[in-house]
Amino acid sequence: MNAISPDVTFDLAATPLRELNAALHQATGESNARRWRVLNPGGRHAVAAGVAAPLTIEIEGHVGYYCAGMNAEASVIIHGNAGVGVAENMMSGFVHVRGDASQSAGATAHGGLLVIDGNASARCGISMKGVDIVVKGSVGHMSAFMGQAGSLVVLGDAGEALGDSLYEAKLFVRGTVKSLGADCIEKEMRDAHKALLAEKLKAAGLEGAVDVGEFRRYGSARRLYNFHVDNVDAY
């Protein structure tokens, strides 16, 4: 962000958060103000939530709950840690946490890409519905709980009950898994899955940084719900 001057700067030490979010909600793809910079977030909740335009928003500091929640099209970069539910219910776009994320990162998210440079706490990707999540560190217990679609890629370790009650989300873990949840099993890592994983790593800026052969794949045993392969696109 320092190389290219932002079009708009909001200092939350001087301006109410409500004004920032209102301005972001009014922005459109045709607006000249495409690059936004947010100073002094101070752990505030719902920073840049509900943005629905192809903006680039850089947040200089730590944020509280639900930052970039319901994001659509925007690229939100958080230069700090994120509280509960970062990118919750994201529909599209890109959210990048440069630090650690608390519980329920990417919860219920339908699309887009969430990248976390550090660790993510419990229930990362809970009820994910199509989002791709790449965590460069480790994830806590119950991650991808009831994950319906999309992918969770973990370069570190995973806590207890990974993928509990999983549907059709795809899980890739490079490190150790403390335990698998109900109906989650390890599956064969075929060439097609390696290609898919390589695609996700490339999107996260990790092309060539890690060997896809170091990962293990986990998925649903499909014993907890009525599954028919002809209906796979519906899950």
**pLDDT tens-digit profile of 11-22?**
999 999 999 999
Mean pLDDT of 64-88: 98
187, 168 contact by CB (below 8 A) = no
146 pLDDT more than 70 = yes
Helix/strand/coil percent split, the chain, to 5:
15, 25, 60
46 pLDDT more than 80 = yes
Indicate whether 230 belongs to any domain: no
87 pLDDT more than 70 = yes
Q: CB-based contacts of 131: which residues, under 8 Å, 6+ apart? A: 87, 90, 106, 109, 110, 111, 112, 113, 114, 125, 150
Q: Is 113 exposed, middle or buried (0-12, 13-18, 19+ CB in 10 A)?
A: buried
pLDDT at 18: 97
Cα four-point dihedral sign 10, 11, 15, 19: positive
User: How sure is the predictor about 36, in pLDDT bands with cuts at 50, 70 and 90?
Assistant: very high
pLDDT digits (tens, 9 = 90+) for 201-223: 999 999 989 999 999 999 999 88
Q: What is the number of domains present in the chain?
A: 1
User: Which residue range is the domain that position 80 belongs to?
Assistant: 8-225
pLDDT at 226: 66
Indicate whether 38 belongs to any domain: yes
Phi-psi region of 159 (alpha: psi -120 to 50; beta: other; left: phi over 0): beta
Indicate whether 1 belongs to any domain: no
Q: What CATH number is given to the structural domain containing 218? A: 2.160.20.60
Judge if pTM exceeds 0.85: yes
User: How sure is the predictor about 1, in pLDDT bands with cuts at 50, 70 and 90?
Assistant: very low
Mean pLDDT of 168-177: 98
Phi-psi region of 25 (alpha: psi -120 to 50; beta: other; left: phi over 0): alpha
231 pLDDT more than 90 = no
Closest CA to 21 of 60, 54, 69, 89: 69
pLDDT at 232: 61
Indicate whether 234 belongs to any domain: no
Could you list the beta-strand ranges (E) of the chain. Answer: 8-11, 35-39, 56-60, 75-78, 94-97, 113-116, 129-135, 149-154, 170-173, 184-187, 216-220
Indicate whether 201 belongs to any domain: yes
